[in-house]
Structure 1
């Protein structure tokens, strides 16, 4: 039977639009693409030792295997979101997915460290197109409050599971097929998405023809690059190093320049009026704090399992299966809870559960046993993350006009990535100092590492608690219940 895809309109908030006939199938494809984006930020963590030995990369170069992806991804998201609003969400999504697929193939085929780092940078740039366009398409496909809540629950369950699944799949794939497999795994999924989307989502209806704010894009991208570079350098050099202080000063100066440029631009990259919507503001701040806690958690946990508990890559990956399952299950059942409690309360409760699991994990000793010291905390973490990731995203896109859906997607993804860089920069530095102090005091290597990671987990818990406070404190002026549903 021949079918034609239904084009996407650009409805204003509250407008009544036709129900897209294959929106749930399209949601599955979009969620798979976002899963790959999140997955690739964490899947290489466990593969790094094997990868480094094979390509002859030293410790500094190995750190760039992560940074080379995160840096262009986080810094280009706002521009990617605006490109999607300007040229069409489906079009930019397909371009980003195709580029991500090609860069992943290149990374898997890399025979030198330089080629691998270049491929990782291309992956990050492609992800910056794919991610905001994906979220924009979800919000445009599902226009009713109830359906959008359900859709974001499913989208968040699949996408949010990417971080947890990265540790699991990274261990399994590296042990079974080598480090190249952590990149090649993207290929079949990417092809499936590229083939499916044109049949499920029709061509974009032309939106408002606006001038691209290239000056704004250049200043904000530069500011984010310099900020992340400063945070990355702080992990090695400390926050008082002159280079680090200079980078932070440069980031502040570029950020100020961006504000000046945006206030003068006819069609700004980020219209600051969007933050008059307190739901957008609260959702992005909560995602910033959640991103900091989440990235620090998965990095520290992967190292804790291998260096403190002495699990191999496969064992470390398999121990994260309960966390991943809890995250996916809870994210999928969040919408009924939101309907009963409201998105803000659900977000706050989820973040507090997440914080409780982190604090529990911080008590794990050097001789930790998985069943006694790790299973319970990681289950609580999965439950909290599942609820928090979905509801923070839902809050951040609440009430956004269809013409700014890409911008909203870029903002919330940027918040997550910048938060991750902040969390890693600050908490990794604190952990390193604590580990060094314990080693100097005569503690064993395992005990010193456990003490350092304990501070990482406690610091991440503090970020989650702060996010819970923001969720309930920053409210819309219009109504105390404006973000419900």
Structure 2
């Protein structure tokens, strides 16, 4: 009878154990992705509990995304100056506090603000985690495996998030989706300092709070116009104001010696193709994920658990790929 294969070679053992820091860093990435896909299935239940309309449900998702996008613009520079591990752990702490606030929210405004705080923490978690992996694994092969683990763990969160979130919201209540983040945040806070050393990068880039503010204002104006415009004139005005703010952001970035977002990168045809691909996925796939649970609940009368199982058909292929 053939023996089962075991890791016996010193090189093999070293390779396996060297991935533990990457797995610890991937745990925090799991949370940031799980909280997006788990919440989309629970949105109808949250809306019933807090009296939210379609626009209110959209803000529950968009508040997170807006804060995440805006914070990414300065998270990298802050992580380089204060230390990447420290920045990641600070983001993990903010994410935990915001998750508790989401679980205790009594109205839509409080939940939206808490979700924005979650997005802020998630930006530092993701930026710090990817930067730490890149620095910890300088060899191309090891770095590929480490980033592969990050992708797999993120894929698990996105694939299983709808089913787990639907089950939690049906059987114990939607607030426990956010409360479930707390033990995972505690595990990340206790394991990362033991496995990952502190790292900084010199020289450091100056922070650009004006650029972050201009981009955030442009995105907020566009979303507000799409969700709350009461007529064609209001919609056009909102889009024009958003375009002006975005133009001011691009002009401000071109004048900076070290822009946080350099529009010149879109001269590269490959970068244009990647940007179009990512926007297509965001506008198509993620939009479907957000509104499909509402459709299932309204059309078939399914509860959150049943919607979560149905959504697994749309998310599980991501894990396989």
Asked if TM exceeds 0.5, the reply is: yes
C-alpha change, 1:221 and 1:53, in structure 2 (3 Å) is closer
The SS at the match of 2:86 is helix
C-alpha change, 1:61 and 1:258, in structure 2 (3 Å) is closer
Over the aligned positions, Cα root-mean-square deviation in angstroms equals 2.8
Q: Which runs of 5+ in 2 are unaligned?
A: 1-13
Aligned partners of 1:50, 1:272: CA distance in 2, in Å?
Answer: 41
Aligned partners of 2:210, 2:150: CA distance in 1, in Å?
Answer: 33
**Are 1:299 and 2:290 matched, yes or no?**
yes
Aligned to 2:69: 74
Number of residues of Structure 1 aligned to a counterpart in Structure 2: 308
Question: Is 1:35–1:162's contact at 8 Å kept on the other side of the alignment?
Answer: yes
**Are 1:171 and 2:169 matched, yes or no?**
no
Q: Which runs of 5+ in 1 are unaligned?
A: 1-18, 331-385, 387-485
Aligned to 1:191: 186
Question: Is 1:82–1:269's contact at 8 Å kept on the other side of the alignment?
Answer: no
C-alpha change, 1:303 and 1:84, in structure 2 (3 Å) is same
Alignment of 1:2-401 (within 5 A): 23-233=18-228, 241-272=232-263, 282-321=273-312, 324-328=315-319, 330=320, 386=321
Deviation for aligned residue 1:254: 1.8
C-alpha change, 1:308 and 1:118, in structure 2 (3 Å) is same
CA deviations over 1:440-484 (Å, ceiling 9, x no partner): xxxxxxxxxxxxxxxxxxxxxxxxxxxxxxxxxxxxxxxxxxxxx
Normalising by structure 1, we get a TM-score of 0.57
Deviation for aligned residue 1:62: 3.3
C-alpha change, 1:80 and 1:222, in structure 2 (3 Å) is farther
Highest RCO, 1 vs 2 (Cα 8 Å, sep ≥ 6): 2
Deviation for aligned residue 1:280: 5.2
Deviation for aligned residue 1:188: 0.9
Aligned partners of 2:65, 2:294: CA distance in 1, in Å?
Answer: 19
Deviation for aligned residue 1:27: 1.6
The SS at the match of 2:221 is helix
CA deviations over 1:50-79 (Å, ceiling 9, x no partner): 323333444443332223222222333222
Aligned to 1:447: none
CA deviations over 1:294-314 (Å, ceiling 9, x no partner): 212312432343333433211
C-alpha change, 1:114 and 1:281, in structure 2 (3 Å) is same
Aligned to 1:372: none
Aligned partners of 1:182, 1:79: CA distance in 2, in Å?
Answer: 29
Question: Is 1:34–1:159's contact at 8 Å kept on the other side of the alignment?
Answer: yes
Aligned partners of 1:268, 1:82: CA distance in 2, in Å?
Answer: 11
C-alpha change, 1:268 and 1:109, in structure 2 (3 Å) is same
